[in-house]
Amino acid sequence: MAAGEVLSSASATESRLIADGILVLYHYSPPYASAVIEHVQAFERHSRFPVWLVNVEHGFPPELHRMTPTVIVLHYSLFGSAHYFLDEEFRGFLDRTTQSHRIAFFQDEYYFCGQRFAFIDRYRIDCVYTLVDWEHHDAVYGRHTYGPRLVYTIPGYVSDDLVRLADERSIPDHQRRIDVGYRARSLPFYMGRGAQEKREIGVRFKAMARHLDLRLDIETDEESRLYGDSWIDFLADCRAVLGVEAGVSIFDLDDTVRQESERLVAEAPGISFGEMSERLLRRWEGNVPYRTVSPRHFEAAAFRVTQILFEGHYSGVLEPMVHFLPLRKDFSNFDEIVRLYRDPTIRRTLTDRAYSDLIASGRYSYRRFVSEFDDELEACGLRPAADATEAEHIRRLLARGARARKLRARVRARYRRWAERPFGRQVRGLARAVLGRSGGGDD
């Protein structure tokens, strides 16, 4: 049945519109890393099926109330740690669309697991794309959920935009001003030793290279993180970057580790990671492997930046002395790595091979990822087939009132940022006291 026929058959509240395609629900509010929106847009750009994107940050599109998509993709950006960006309207939509095939992408799966498992069971998620290795699927999802189809994935892939940006903005190696660059931030102790490596590699490398004739731009605090064009400019100006595997080394299946860790910090605010590891964390280290290649590794390869990485598996994507210089985690080969880095021939050999294998080959492109995603749908007997006219009609319906929703979202976001400032909190508290309200009009 054509979309127009459905719409003319009854009133908006009575008719149901079968949207025979893929609806991607996601959350995006800058300054998210560009990798997030690249992942979202890949479905629309590369799927052989009709795709519609809805950013939940802008609110619920009214026309969605009467739509039943063939496939609903719940993007990983919806799932914060303890907070999910799905309000009552979107959750009600999931309740009403029980005929839709639901696919959830998860990242940062290693904590608040009970909430995630409950969500999967509550909304009968049909398929989960997970960063958990194949051999541990049963230990995580098989034992704690009703048993959705599980597909292994990695956090991000190579977009056409990344390749274009690298072609346009890469700088020849001899013109780059930074020898070694890096950005990271500290992570909570309960995520294990693997999470601490992200800061440790920057701190130790910076200290050990301080007296060498190398120009360093290495920072490991939240305030120094870079986004958008600032990140691209920084990367393009580096001859080398540091790096580690993404992920953590403790998988907190029942939330015990986080709660016990926070209790110890409250009791002893100055506790070191070593002390906490000895008293609590050691028994859980490596319980479920959760380390992976990162979109940053693809970015460095695209910009032909030499990668100095802690030794690791990197999802089998990167090989030592083929794609990167392998730095031991105890820094015992630091001098050797610096010597190798200083050789422009070695840098060129590594960066050429990384570009060839990771970028030019197309093996890790979003185009290939989405093609395989489509194959998975077909393996489940799903071939969404809205024609171009129907797909465009649905897109226009979802876009109704979009400008007003975006404006309201911007106002809410600005208010939230203002309300978190000291003066804003004082004014909000005064308003609550005067008006006798507990909410203070947050939204």
pLDDT the model gives residue 13: 45
Measured between alpha carbons, how far is 400 from 63 in angstroms, rounded to an integer? Answer: 8
Provide the residue type at 243 as one letter: G
pLDDT the model gives residue 367: 98
Measured between alpha carbons, how far is 132 from 257 in angstroms, rounded to an integer? Answer: 19
pLDDT digits (tens, 9 = 90+) for 352-389: 999 999 999 999 999 999 999 999 999 999 999 999 99
pLDDT the model gives residue 9: 34
Do 212 and 341 form a contact (C-beta atoms < 8 A)?
Answer: no
pLDDT the model gives residue 214: 97
Do 337 and 329 form a contact (C-beta atoms < 8 A)?
Answer: no
Token pair 């719409």 is at which residue? Answer: 7
pLDDT the model gives residue 411: 81
DSSP-derived pairing of the beta strands 149-152 and 178-183? unpaired
Q: Phi first, then psi: what are they for 270, rounded to 5°? A: -95, 15
Q: Which residues of the chain have pLDDT under 70?
A: 1-14, 32, 412-443
